[in-house]
Amino acid sequence: MYKALDTLRLTLLHAGFASLDHRWQFDNVVSPFSRLYLITEGEAWVFHNQRKYILKPNRLYLIPSFTHSKYQCDKKMDQYYISFLDQMEAGTSIYDLINFDFDVEATAMDFQLFKRLMKLNPDRAILKSDPKTYDNKPELLSYNRRHSQAYDKYLETHGILLQLFSRFFRMEKLSTDKKLKSYRRLDLVIRFIVQNLSQKITVEELAASVHLHPDYFSRLFLEILGVRPLDFINNKRMERAQFLLATTSMTISEIAMQVGIPNFSYFSRLFKRKFNTTPAVYRKRRWDI
């Protein structure tokens, strides 16, 4: 696990402070990056991961990447915010390896870290609060070019992001050596899945790669990750498709092939099931700003 964490890289997209009001109301938001809020005054709410989180002062909130969410402020709320891309070796997601608390109490140090991050990155504010204006292809592709930093500021920025992000880690100790060994096996399986999304992947193949019977492998996968292997594979494919739709000019058919679902109709159905919109409509919303 620690070896995997060594490969975690966070890339800052936005950082700033905002005073929000009743106009901050957005539904069906699914972004290819994570968001982190520190509330200073007022109240609002965010719904994601099948739960409604009330945003309150002096608390930190995390909204993971590729998560269907809804935002609403009825009166007024002030917040520090950051958004960032999260990447790991071979494309593995940190959210697949670690359990998270998405609502934690803020500390005095958290306030200092947000202020320092804004000082290091003074031009990262979101100018318009509608996610459609900054979840789009031109924004995501241009950030590294427009916001190059001196090495010392880049390293400090990355360190602050890691420190804030780590506040949400819920690192339960695995109860037995047997369970720990099983978790490590699944770590290898996850890496294989992410590296081979364009190929046909079967449960039998995954089970054989870790020398387990397919039935036992499926039960173990569900126990450790909370989702069945085929559902996990399809989720990873749809997340990759969403990112490619937002950040490349590949055709939708090409993207379907790239994520291992050459049947266009089936690809569209899976995409709509996960993101509540079709690939074509998703791309149009992100590009026609």
Residue 169, CA distances (Å) to 67, 98, 172 in order: 17, 7, 9
| All residues at 6 or more sequence positions from 11 whose CB lies less than 8 Å from its CB, including other chains | 84, 85, 87, 143, 144
pLDDT, residue 145, reads 46
d(Cα 121, Cα 79) in Å, to the nearest integer?
17
Half-sphere exposure (Cβ direction) of 159: Cα atoms closer than 13 Å: 9
Q: What pLDDT is recorded for position 112?
A: 97
> What is residue 195's predicted lDDT score, i.e. its pLDDT?
83
Residue ranges in the chain modelled with pLDDT below 50:
135-138, 141-146, 174-176, 287-289
Q: What pLDDT is attached to residue 172? A: 61
Q: Give the number of C-alpha atoms closer than 13 A to the C-alpha of residue 23, restricted to the C-beta side.
A: 7
Give the model's pLDDT for residue 288. Answer: 43
* Nearest alpha carbon to residue 252 among 243, 260, 264: 264
Total-model pTM:
0.71
Q: Tell me, what's the pLDDT at 136?
A: 47
CA–CA dist 259, 275 (Å, integer)? 16
Q: Which domains does the chain have, with CATH numbers?
A: 2-170 (2.60.120.10), 177-287 (1.10.10.60)
Q: What is the pLDDT of residues 129-172, one digit of tens each?
A: 565 555 444 455 444 444 567 888 989 999 999 999 999 987 66
Cβ atoms of 110 and 164 closer than 8 Å? yes
